[in-house]
Amino acid sequence: MNNSKNKNNYNKLTKEEEYVIIEKGTEMPFSGEYEHENRKGVYICKRCNAPLYKSEDKFDAHCGWPSFDQEIKGAVKKVPDPDGERTEIQCANCGAHLGHVFLGEGFTKRNTRHCVNSISMKFIQDKN
Nearest to 50 by CA among 94, 8, 14: 94
Of 45, 48, 94, 115, catalytic? 115
Nearest to 90 by CA among 104, 80, 76, 103: 76
Residue 115 is among the residues annotated as catalytic for this protein: yes
CA angle 81, 84, 87 (to 5 degrees): 45
Active site residues: 115
